[in-house]
Amino acid sequence: MIRITPSLFLAILLGLCLHVASAQAQYVHTCVSAARGDDANTCHCTQPCRSFQRAHDQTIDQGQITVLDPGGYGMVTITKSISIVNDEVGAASIIVSEGYTGITINAPADAGYVNLRGITIQGMGVQFGGSVGLILNTGFALTMTNCVVSNHTSNAIMFQPVGGFSELAVSDTLVNDNGSIGIYVRARGSGVIKAALSRVEAYNNGAGIVVQGDTGIVNATVTDSVSTNNNGDGVAVASPGGGTTNVMVIRSTLANNNDGLRADNASATLRVGQSTITGNRFSWQNNGSNLRSYGDNNIDGNGDGDPAIPVIAKK
């Protein structure tokens, strides 16, 4: 018979506590794998998880999740600063159906940094119910690179913080076949947003890119991008609640939309330069707003006879 002394009992108890603590530990770097991942694992890269949500919960603030192989990794709600990275291992997908949202970001408004790279957010279309690709409700900064957001019945990317200061950067990203807006930037409350969209492709959406300062302020650039075959606007700006919206479109193509460019409300300003506007029903619409050209655009082949946009001088 083994005699359990007080010291042995203490050692056993300490060992159990250490085991529990280890099982609950969070890591700076976690991994997900469709081939060998299991959400019962620790999510350490030697024991990868199967889902983004489990990996998120096992990653400390400002940590990183790495995708090890292609597969579907499930919807995720992000509540901290984190990076989710897929560096060309194949499609790292989030399949979304039945009225859900692929990625929901509720990170700290003043210190939440979210970075997404190489992620596909795929909706299942109307036969499986409505869906949204990504919504940011709170967070300081969102960066998306080399992502695809497609086939959602509602918006693909919704950046809509309330109050505070926030930043959005989207590059080398495709938004296509979405029932509503491809990229929707909306300043609510007294918020101030800075947005930079570069090498974005918006195809076959309800509208391509919409930037709106409801009661807040938005300053945005759309550079080297393409917005085509959208049912509504290629690029639209508005300030319906009295906010201020300033957007500059440079070296971009607006083709085969209902409106190539659209600007609504007196406190919205849209400037365009070195861009091509063609094949649209209306090349541009300016409804009590400030739509201006730098005089170096290619406007031709639109259904409205290609009227010239009022010109401002380059500085």
- Please choose, from the candidates 62, 66, 61, the residue with its C-alpha nearest in 3D space to the C-alpha of residue 48: 66
Of 263, 267, 173, residue with least CA distance to 227: 173
* Residue-wise pLDDT tens digits, 207-220: 999 999 988 999 99
Which pLDDT score, from 0 to 100, does residue 98 have? 77
Looking at the domain assignment, is residue 199 inside a domain?
yes
Q: How is 152-200 classified by DSSP, letter by letter?
A: -SS-SEEE--BSSEEEEEEEEEEEES-SSEEEEEEEBTT-EEEEEEEEE
Q: Is residue 313 part of a domain?
A: no
What distance in Å separates the CA atoms of residue 139 and residue 268, rounded to the nearest whole number? 24
- Under the banding of pLDDT at 50, 70 and 90, the label for residue 3 is low
52 domain-assigned = no
Higher pLDDT among residues 18 and 91, named by residue = 91
pLDDT tens for 254-306 read: 999 999 999 999 899 999 999 999 999 999 999 988 999 999 999 999 999 99
C-alpha span between 91 and 128 (Å, rounded):
21
Task: Name every residue whose Cβ is closer than 8 Å to that of residue 191 and which is 6 or more positions away in sequence.
Answer: 161, 162, 163, 164, 165, 166, 216, 217
Computed over its alpha carbons, how large is the radius of gyration of the chain? 23
Tell me what pLDDT residue 241 has: 85
**Mean pLDDT, the chain, integer:** 91
pTM (two decimals): 0.90
pLDDT value of residue 24: 59
The tens digit of pLDDT for each residue in 220-259 reads 999 999 999 999 999 999 998 888 999 999 999 999 999 9
67-95 residue pLDDT tens = 999 999 999 999 999 999 999 889 999 99
What residues contact 143, with CB distance under 8 A and at least 6 apart?
113, 114, 115, 116, 168, 169, 170
Say how far apart CA 185 and CA 18 lie, in whole Å: 47
The verdict on residue 223 lying in a domain is: yes
We report the CATH number of the domain holding residue 131 as 2.160.20.10
82 in a structural domain: yes
Return the pLDDT at 242: 84
Q: Is residue 175 situated within a structural domain? A: yes
Boundaries of domain holding 221 = 70-299
Average pLDDT over residues 28-41: 97
Let me know if residue 281 belongs to a domain: yes
- Stronger pLDDT, 129 or 103, i.e. the higher one: 103
User: CA 305 to CA 72: how far, in whole Å?
Assistant: 47
246 in a structural domain: yes
pLDDT for 94: 97
| Phi, psi torsion values for 313, nearest 5 degrees | -80, 145
The confidence band for 14, taking pLDDT boundaries of 50, 70 and 90, is very low
As for how many domains the chain has, the answer is 1
pLDDT at 210: 98
| Res 6: pLDDT | 47
